[in-house]
Structure 1
Amino acid sequence: MEKTFEESLGFRHACKVFDDEKKISDEDIKYILEAGRRSPSSFGMEAWKFLVITNEELKLKLRPACWSQAQITTCSHLVIILAGIESVKPESGIPKKRFARRNMPQESLDFYLKLYAEHLADTLSSDENIYAWTAKQTAFAGANMMSAAAVRGIDSCPIEGFDRDQVEDILNIDKSKFRLSMAIPFGYRLNEQSSQVRLDFDEVVEFIN
C-alpha cells in the first residue's frame, strides 16, 4: 500500500544497514528511477545519468571506495548518479537538441542558445566549473528518487562519502563526459529507524510579507 506524501516524509531516513535478503521489484525500481528522470534541471539540460547496480561482485569492489559503508553491499539496488560534463557544452550540439525539443521558431532557438552560452560563460569555462553546476542539480533527481522510494515503503541513503576517482575508475567512467555526484543505495531496512530529528518549523521558515 502506497504511503501519502506526508507519511513518506516521516518514513524516510538515512538507512544504515539494509536487509540483503529483500529485493526491490522491477516495477518499484522503475517507479523510483522515473521520479529521477522527470526531475527539474537548469535550462532543461538533464545533465545526468543513472547507473543501476545489482551485481554483488561489483558492489564488493565499490564498497572500499565508499568508505566501506555497509549500505553499498547490503542494498538491493545501488544507484550511481553521474553529473554530465560534455552534454552541457554548446559545442557538443546537445544543448541545441535540448532546446529544439520545445518546437520553437529558429529565431527563438538562436536566442536561447545565445542566452545560455552568455549566461553560463564562467560556468562552462572549465570541466570543474561545469561539474560544480551539474552535480548540484543531480540533488533534485536524488531527492525525488528517495521520496518516490519512501512512497512505496522502500528505504534509501544518500551517500557522498566516497573516493570519486576510485569509484569512477572501477566503473570505467569517461571523465570527459560524466563525473560521479552521488550514490544512493535502495532496499529495505534491517532494523527499525530511530526517531527523525529536525529543526522546528519556525527555525527554518521565515515569511516575508
Structure 2
Amino acid sequence: MPDFADAMAFRHACKRFSEQKIPEATFEQVLEFGRMSPSSFGMEPWRFLVVADTALREALRPLCWNQPQITESSHLLIITADNECIKPGTAYVRAMFARRGLPEEAFERYLGVYADHMGPQFHSREAIEAWTHKQCYLAAANMMTGAASLQIDSCPIEGFEKAKVEALLALEPARSVALIVAFGYRLNPQPEHYRLDLDAVVERR
C-alpha cells in the first residue's frame, strides 16, 4: 500500500468519473476507514448511507447543483448525522461510555463532564448539527484519504439543497445530511494541486 504522503498527493476532488466500478469488497474497506475514525467523546454520530439505486441518484442530481459526480461515480455516499442520540442523558450516550468498562464512579464522572460540556452547546438544532457535522467530516476525510491509498478517487460535495435532499431520502427527523462523497475512478488526468506554502498556514510560538 502506498504511504500516506502518496495518498495525499493522489487525492483530489475528482469531478468526472469513468464507468469502472469499485469492487464491493474494496468499498467495504473504505467504509471501514470511516467506521474507525475518531470522534469527540467517542460518540460516532455519523451514519453512512450508500446510494446504489440508479433512479434515486438521478433524482438527487438536480438537488445537488446538477453535478455529474452524483450519477457518474461508482459509489455515492451520503454521510448523515444522528442529532438526537448524542444529547446528554440519552441511552445511547450512556452505552457509548459504558463500553469503556469504567468503574461506576468514573463512568458517572464522564457523563457529568459530557453533560457540562455539551449541554450548553445544544441550544438549537443548528448548534447540534454544527457539532455532529464536524464529526462527520473527520470520517469523510479518513475515507477519502484511505480510498486514495487504494488508488480510488473521491469528491466531497457540499453543494446541495439540504432540506430537499433530506426530504427525498425520507430521513427521520433526528438525522441530517452533513455532506455527500462520490467515489470511483477518474476519467481525466489529475489536475495540479494548489495549496498555500507551509509557512503561510503554520504559526509557531
TM (norm. structure 2) is 0.97
Deviation (angstroms), 1:207: 2.7
Unpaired runs of 5+ residues, structure 1, are: none
Q: Separation in 1 of the partners of 2:10 and 2:171?
A: 34
Q: Which amino acid aligns with 1:137?
A: Q
Q: Separation in 2 of the partners of 1:79 and 1:6?
A: 24
Alpha-carbon deviations, 1:31-72, whole Å to 9, x = none? Answer: 111111111111110011000112211110100111100100
Say which SS state the counterpart of residue 125 (structure 1) adopts: coil
Instruction: Tell me if structure 1 keeps the 8 A contact 2:54–2:71.
Output: yes
Say which SS state the counterpart of residue 186 (structure 1) adopts: strand
Unpaired runs of 5+ residues, structure 2, are: none
Instruction: Tell me if structure 2 keeps the 8 A contact 1:63–1:72.
Output: yes
What does 1:50-199 correspond to in 2, within 5 Å?
A: 50-175=48-173, 177-199=174-196
Query: What is the CA RMSD across the aligned residues, in angstroms?
Result: 1.1
Percent identity for Structure 1 against Structure 2:
48
Match of residue 3 from structure 2:
4
From 186, 197, 200, the equivalent of 1:200 is: 197
Alpha-carbon deviations, 1:74-104, whole Å to 9, x = none? Answer: 0010010011201101243111100001001
Say which SS state the counterpart of residue 203 (structure 2) adopts: coil
Query: Runs of 4 or more off by more than 3 Å in structure 1?
Result: none
Deviation (angstroms), 1:115: 1.1
Q: Which amino acid aligns with 1:152?
A: L
